[in-house]
């Protein structure tokens, strides 16, 4: 095949363009720190990178969910701790009231404090995080206790009628749909396909507490019918009431509060395990993304120096080829 001067010139220009292209790509990698600047550079790397970024996005969302879980659990545990402290005070007052040396007026004063504690516990049952009630199940926009109509003389509230019927002694559930029940589980997703319950069963717990507080208040009422309660009757509030209620005295109530707090503590331990798992997942995915996209600077710089040397050699050879003219051949 006859090789002409035009062919030599065209091939030289083509090779120079390719050399410029290689150096331009290496320069882009060094400037951006990534192997590709557009999907067309390497579709495989681009697709893998999209998957890794999607995984990181999920991890970030689950981490935000964990903050919400911690908020719910910490607030619930703090509220239950307050209730537990109040029940200790109720126990002290009942022990004091059970003494027959107390006059009706003294028991009436104890009743006044019992009524105030009852209202305080009702307020605690309506604890909110932001604008959400934490003890109202999935119906977080409604309080667990609402004002009675007409209002009770002692200022106490009643279980929200939208949830339950409350006869002053026991809770009678009327919620047919679990999604609107006050004891329905509030679930928050913390990992792929894993959800954690963040609320406590408020209606049963606080309903039984309120029922007990109402009984104690009635026992200490000077105008009680058929007459003032005896010390034995008052002492039964410490542990001895008999009814169909699951928790009908201070001992059972306090044990129920402790059980609920233990349950919340166990969930908190699991939350810590899930946070560690998310942290490890984030590190793993970030490393995979780095291995997939980040440029190896030492390798890229070496290639860049090599390409520049080759390019300079090509320019030197090209200069000799292009400068040849017909006059040079005649000579």
pLDDT tens for each residue of 193-206: 899 999 998 888 89
Q: How many CA atoms lie within 13 A of 138 on its CB side?
A: 12
Name the token pair of 206: 């606080």
Q: Which helix (H) or strand (E) holds 28?
A: helix 5-32
Reported as a single tens digit per residue, the pLDDT across 236-274 is 888 765 554 444 788 889 999 999 999 999 999 999 999
**Least confidently predicted of 155-159, 203-207, 208-212, 282-286:** 155-159
Q: Which residues are paired to 189 by β-bridges?
A: 195
Q: Which of the following CATH numbers is that of domain 74-286: 2.60.40.10, 1.10.10.370, 1.10.760.10, 1.20.1330.10?
A: 1.20.1330.10
Query: Does residue 207 have a pLDDT over 70?
Result: yes
Q: Which residues contact 181 (CB under 8 A, 6 or more apart)?
A: 137, 138, 139, 163, 173, 175, 203
Local structure of 38: helix, strand or coil: coil
Rounded Cα distance between 47 and 233, Å, is 75
pLDDT bracket for residue 167 (50, 70, 90): very low
**Across residues 206-216, what is the average pLDDT?**
89
Alpha-carbon distance of 210 to 168, in angstroms, equals 8
d(Cα 164, Cα 329) in Å, to the nearest integer?
108
DSSP notation for 63-131:
HHHHHHHHHHHHHHHHHHHHHHHHHHHHHHHHHHHT-TT--HHHHHHHHHHHHHHHHHHHHHHT-EETT
Q: Over 80: is that where the pLDDT of 286 sits?
A: yes
Of the candidate ranges 20-24, 88-92, 159-163, 305-309, the one whose mean pLDDT is the lowest? 159-163
Q: Is residue 1 classed as helix, strand or coil in its secondary structure?
A: coil
| DSSP-derived secondary structure for 216-247 | HHHHT-TT-SS-PPPHHHHHHHHHT--SSSS-
Provide mean pLDDT across the span 175-190.
Answer: 66
Do the beta carbons of residue 20 and residue 318 sit within 8 Å?
no
What is the DSSP secondary-structure string of 121-180? HHHHHT-EETTEETTSTT-TTS-SEEE-SSPPTT--EEE-TTTEEE-SSSEEE---SGGG
């Amino acid at each position: 095949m006859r090789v002409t001067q035009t062919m030599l010139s065209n091939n030289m220009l083509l090779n120079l363009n390719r050399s410029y292209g290689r150096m331009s790509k290496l320069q882009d990698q060094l400037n951006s720190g990534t192997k590709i600047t557009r999907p067309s550079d390497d579709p495989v790397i681009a697709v893998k990178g999209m998957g890794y970024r999607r995984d990181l996005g999920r991890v970030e969302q689950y981490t935000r969910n964990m903050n919400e879980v911690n908020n719910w659990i910490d607030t619930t545990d703090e509220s239950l701790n307050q209730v537990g402290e109040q029940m200790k005070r109720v126990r002290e007052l009942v022990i004091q009231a059970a003494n027959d040396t107390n006059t009706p007026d003294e028991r009436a004063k104890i009743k006044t404090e019992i009524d105030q504690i009852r209202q305080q516990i009702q307020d605690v049952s309506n604890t909110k995080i932001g604008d959400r009630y934490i003890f109202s199940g999935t119906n977080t926009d409604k309080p667990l206790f609402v004002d009675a109509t007409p209002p009770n003389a002692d200022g106490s509230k009643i279980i929200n009628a939208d949830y339950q019927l409350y006869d002053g002694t026991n809770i009678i559930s009327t919620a047919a749909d679990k999604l609107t029940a006050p004891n329905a589980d509030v679930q928050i997703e913390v990992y792929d396909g894993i959800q954690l319950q963040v609320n406590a069963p408020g209606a049963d717990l606080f309903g039984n507490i309120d029922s007990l507080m109402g009984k104690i208040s009635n026992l200490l009422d000077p105008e009680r019918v058929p007459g003032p309660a005896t010390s034995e009757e008052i002492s039964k509030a410490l542990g001895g009431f008999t009814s169909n209620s699951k928790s009908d005295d201070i001992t059972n109530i306090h044990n129920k509060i402790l059980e609920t707090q233990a349950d919340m503590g166990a969930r908190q331990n699991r939350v810590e395990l899930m946070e560690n798992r998310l942290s490890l997942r984030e590190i793993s995915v970030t490393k995979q993304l780095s291995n997939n996209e980040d440029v190896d600077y030492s390798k890229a710089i070496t290639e860049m120096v090599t390409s520049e040397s080759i390019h300079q050699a090509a320019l030197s050879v090209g200069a000799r080829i292009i400068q040849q003219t017909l006059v040079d051949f005649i000579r």
